[in-house]
Amino acid sequence: MMELLTRQPVYVVLVAALMIWVGLAWYLTRIDRRVAELERNEDR
């Protein structure tokens, strides 16, 4: 596995980019849930 990563550094970049996108999606989902909850509480 390490041999593949050292020979093909583009895979390291792709994995890092994928991790960033997954993290952003998770963060935005969390924020969306919190905002939706605040909006529900505001209507009461």
Residue 37 tokens read as 């909850």
C-alpha to C-alpha distance for 28 and 16, rounded to whole angstroms: 18
pLDDT at 1 over 80: no
> Cα(3)–Cα(6) distance, rounded to whole angstroms?
5
* Mean of all residue pLDDT scores within the chain: 90
Q: Can you give the pTM of this predicted structure? A: 0.70
pLDDT over threshold 90, residue 31: yes
Contact yes or no for 5/11 (Cβ under 8 A): yes
Residue 24: pLDDT band by 50, 70, 90 thresholds?
very high
